[in-house]
Structure 1
Amino acid sequence: MRFAAPALLSMLLAGCGALPADGPGAIHISAQDVETDAEQTGYSLINLDTQTVDMLQGYRPSSFANRFLGVGDGASPSSLGVGDTLVIGIWEATREGLFSSENDGVNQIPAVVDETGYIFVPYAGRVRAAGLTVEGLRQSIQQKLIGKAVEPQVVVTLGDKLSTTAVVVGDAMKPGVYPLPSRKMQLLDLIASAGGSREATFETVVTLKRGRHSGTTRLEHLIEFPENNVTVSPGDTVLLSHHPRTFSVFGAVKSNTLVPFKTKKVTLAEGLATVGGLNDYKADAAGIFLFRYEDAQLAQALDPQLSRSIPSETQVPVVYRLSLRDPRGFFLAREFELRDKDIMYVSNHPTAEFGKFLAIIAPLISNVAAANTLVD
């Protein structure tokens, strides 16, 4: 009796679909009709091309700045408040006056606005300071000294404006409480006053808390996108945190792993090279996918069919597809920059499954051939 090798082969082929795989193939992902029904599928599929890469490179994230529009007055008030330190200089027309000194005819009096909003000036008594500008306080003191000092002239100098402060905590070189000057102070100015970050800028995250509002961005985005460098308001709290960036690679590559960013910028081509490139025996060069969340504004620009009713602060899941079968794909991979928490997946080529199948049945075929020889 001869064994029917073709019959055995057909039976095994029927089970080929049950073979293990690294993940869905390119054909399975692209078959999802996400472009025409993004709301139902929950993500958008974008084919990488020159226009898409240009849009990504030109996009300016503004969600951080938008969170603080109209929130806070954006500057330290010019009026004095409790805790402010002052130096009061009083000149008189004669050296025999109340405040005259032997050297220059002027007396310097330090003062601090107390908890009731007043300061004390000899012979003028308690003078209301809180709520007044420096010039207003100067005029008030000078007026109170008329008739007591000889033709008094008063100069008020503001020291530390401790009534309006902001706090810097976390991974700053010098965390602490910082007084805000009367001029506008930007967020980067405050961070610089605290000595900057202990870590690299591209690994540092800035969180600004203002009342009930808060926003988070990377420190480098305050530099690259000046609109995010918002004006500090009294009472602000700034947290600097060390957040190393990583991306993940799965599928038909030589190493499935979590990869840390070692430089400020890492392109898709560099990311693939880091894990050893595509697996020559399994990878589908036309099925390279990258999964990430994009701002709704950018996602809507990339996918015109995406609903326009999505709030601007929403993060939309987007899948980018790249084909390296086209030589232009290598140039696109060189320009496409990876971001923190990106997931890269390289799908299996359809023939890879057949290769797995042949590896499984090869011993069986050899046994069938040997049995047929014995029967003969």
Structure 2
Amino acid sequence: MVLLLAGCNTLPDSGPTEYKINHAQRDPKRNSVGYNIVKVSPELIGLLESQEPPLFSSLDADNAPVSVPRNDTIGPGDVLQVSIYEVGSALFSPNNGGMSAGGNMSMASNLPPLSVDGSGNVEIPFGGQMHVTGMTTNQLADAITARLKQKSQSPQVLVRILSDITNSVIVYGGVRRPSRIPLTPNREHILDVIALAGGKTGRSSRMRIISSA
């Protein structure tokens, strides 16, 4: 019996003993993760029970985007087409004309394509320089209309993007048609962009999608 009891001290441990844990906790070389030993007491249990666990929906709150991205705004590099409709005596040289609802001559003028410069500005004839980065086409049309109201009779402005650099991505690599893919306000997913690029090729090369924004 004495031999059996003595042999128990020589058997391998299934885990560290309390002494080893306490000793390692006080040794900075062995306690590389910096853990501490806390005594479990009724006061500690009551404190833990009083705290409400975080909701599952809040776990990814720190990674949520600040704002919902849009694919209909103007930015540097875009090329715009601005059409201005006027009633009566036209401020701009008309390309064509027609009758308005009130019987007056309605003139429509298409300005030359306007490129948005690196600072996000365009130059509007009789309207001056305008900062357009972040605007939608409707917002820019309203801003141009406001500037021309004192110089033109009942102007109406339409703006569209001819070359959309801001709202586009470049797809290359293992796709059938590497190219620049324009995005729409529908907010395409990655699989949509890959499909628009012709889908994945049979080669093992990797594809890349680069945002132009």
- TM category (shorter chain) comes to 0.5 to 0.7
Give the TM-score taking structure 2 as reference length.
0.56
Matches within 5 A, 1:182-331: 182-199=185-202, 234-235=211-212
1:99 aligns with 2:87: no
1:155 is displaced (CA, Å) by: 0.9
Unaligned runs of at least 5 residues, structure 2: 1-62, 98-106
Unaligned runs of at least 5 residues, structure 1: 1-68, 211-233, 237-376
Question: What is the aligned residue count?
Answer: 142
Distance (whole Å) between structure 2 residues aligned to residue 154 and residue 130 of structure 1? 18
Distance (whole Å) between structure 1 residues aligned to residue 133 and residue 115 of structure 2? 11
Share of identical aligned residues, percent? 27
CA gap 1:127/1:190 in 2 versus in 1, 3 angstroms: same
SS of residue matched to 1:159: strand
Pick from 65, 75, 78: which aligns with 1:81? 75
SS of residue matched to 2:192: helix
Partner of 1:143: 146
1:149 is displaced (CA, Å) by: 1.6
1:168 aligns with 2:162: no
Distance (whole Å) between structure 2 residues aligned to residue 163 and residue 120 of structure 1? 19
1:88 is displaced (CA, Å) by: 0.7
1:207 is displaced (CA, Å) by: 5.5
Structure showing greater relative contact order (alpha-carbon pairs closer than 8 Å, 6 or more residues apart) = 1
Partner of 1:17: none
Counterpart code for 2:195: A
CA gap 1:72/1:84 in 2 versus in 1, 3 angstroms: farther
Give the TM-score taking structure 1 as reference length.
0.33
Cα displacement string for residues 241-298 of structure 1 (whole angstroms, at most 9, x for unaligned residues): xxxxxxxxxxxxxxxxxxxxxxxxxxxxxxxxxxxxxxxxxxxxxxxxxxxxxxxxxx
Q: CA RMSD in A?
A: 3.1
Cα displacement string for residues 208-234 of structure 1 (whole angstroms, at most 9, x for unaligned residues): 678xxxxxxxxxxxxxxxxxxxxxxx4
Pick from 120, 128, 135: which aligns with 1:132? 135
CA gap 1:103/1:164 in 2 versus in 1, 3 angstroms: closer
Partner of 1:293: none
Distance (whole Å) between structure 2 residues aligned to residue 189 and residue 209 of structure 1? 12
CA gap 1:151/1:73 in 2 versus in 1, 3 angstroms: closer
CA gap 1:164/1:235 in 2 versus in 1, 3 angstroms: same
Matches within 5 A, 1:34-73: 70=64
Distance (whole Å) between structure 1 residues aligned to residue 212 and residue 170 of structure 2? 7
